[in-house]
Amino acid sequence: MHRQCASCIAALALVLGVAAPASPQPRDLPAEGKLLVASEGLLDPNFGRTVVLLIEYGESGALGVVLNRPTEGTLADLLPDSEWASHARDPIHLGGPVAINQALMLYSTSEKVPDQRQVLGDVHTGWNLELLERLIVEPGPQEKVRVYVGYAGWAPGQLEAEIERGGWYVLPATEATIFSDKNDELWRELIQRTKTRIAFAGSSRTAPKEASGTSP
């Protein structure tokens, strides 16, 4: 549509007292540090009612960990020869159906650690036993750590297709969300937040022009 035509439509809508066609709402796109919230229609048993944190995203595909699938296993089960592991309070979490014999950490610290991948702010991922021990035994006031086995992976274009079909909602992440201990409640809370955003976007596109309070 030409710019002049668009201006004419907007002017006509103003005269008639109706809302002009709104510009499309920007849609959240997947990226490192974003959340994938499973839609209510996603019935895959691996991902139903899950919240996934994307920790890698690019041309080669995407990788993330499920945030709200705690297991009955403990860090002491995973590291039976490490006495300090018994001090861990959080259970091991199931990060996804891929490579469930591999473990990784999500942790928040301002400490600079080599060969660790930044996800969001002070949140990083990787595997470092020395750091894990310190964060378990002597964590700083704002430091957090959680251990996952397995991860979720998507081939190039696969995640985008699932989002397009309505399988996932994309939301920004926060450190509080990443280390939330709500588990089941976390998914419901984020689904409700998504519905509110969708409803708000829809109402802003269709809201009628307010009456001026004067008679013609």
In a domain, 13, yes or no: no
In a domain, 215, yes or no: no
For residue 185, the domain's CATH number is 3.40.1740.10
Domain around 42? 24-205
Predicted confidence at residue 5, as pLDDT, reads 38
Predicted confidence at residue 14, as pLDDT, reads 29
Asked whether the CA dihedral 186, 188, 189, 190 is positive or negative, the reply is positive
In a domain, 184, yes or no: yes
For the stretch 42-58, pLDDT in tens is: 999 999 999 999 999 99
In a domain, 121, yes or no: yes
Predicted confidence at residue 84, as pLDDT, reads 96
In a domain, 14, yes or no: no
In a domain, 12, yes or no: no
Check residue 177 and give left, alpha or beta (phi > 0: left; psi -120 to 50: alpha).
alpha
For the stretch 199-215, pLDDT in tens is: 666 555 554 444 333 33
Q: How many domains does the chain have?
A: 1
In a domain, 19, yes or no: no
Inform me whether the pLDDT recorded for 71 exceeds 70: yes
In a domain, 210, yes or no: no
**Percent of the chain surpassing pLDDT 90:** 71
Predicted confidence at residue 62, as pLDDT, reads 98
pTM value?
A: 0.80
